[in-house]
Amino acid sequence: EIVLTQSPGTLSLSPGESATLSCRASQSLSSNYLAWYQQRPGQAPRLLIYGASTRAPGIPDRFSGSGSGADFTLTITRLEPEDFALYYCQQYSSSPRYTFGQGTKLEIK
């Protein structure tokens, strides 16, 4: 089973700054299988990025994903107040079908 480890656990930044969130897999995986989700307080997760770098429909271009192998990154530029939330990476595999990282909390400094 591939384990995803996200860092940092909490990231404190100010609006207008840029955020870099990391997701490291315990073994190499296809970038096709890596997705990122945002979860605001009290809300369901929302798909941001799939295939490691493809933005989901309606997602602003301030959000970008990159990486390959075992290291993946979600970058958010020009942080807006609504971007402060929890972020999860997720990977697909044959078993279990999906696993999530433990999450990174992006909080206002």
Partner 1 sequence: EVQLVESGGGLVQPGGSLRLSCEASGFTFSTYEMNWVRQAPGKGLEWVSYISSSGYSTYSADSVKGRFTMSRDNAKNSLFLQMTSLRAEDTAVYYCARGRVGEVPAAPGAYYYYMDVWGKGTTVTVSS
- The contact set with partner 1 (CB under 8 A) reads 30, 32-33, 35, 37, 39, 43-47, 50-51, 54, 56, 88, 90, 92, 95-103
> Cβ of residue 14: shortest distance to partner 1, in angstroms?
25
By C-beta, is 16 or 58 nearer to partner 1? 58
d(C-alpha 63, C-alpha 69), whole Å: 20
How large is the C-alpha radius of gyration of the chain? Answer: 13
Token couple for 15: 């609006």
By C-beta, is 39 or 73 nearer to partner 1? 39
By C-beta, is 63 or 90 nearer to partner 1? 90
CB count in 10 Å sphere of residue 88: 21
d(C-alpha 57, C-alpha 47), whole Å: 9
- Picking from 35, 37, 68, 73, the residue whose alpha carbon sits closest to that of residue 54 is 35
> Cβ of residue 47: shortest distance to partner 1, in angstroms?
5
> Cβ of residue 85: shortest distance to partner 1, in angstroms?
13
By C-beta, is 50 or 72 nearer to partner 1? 50
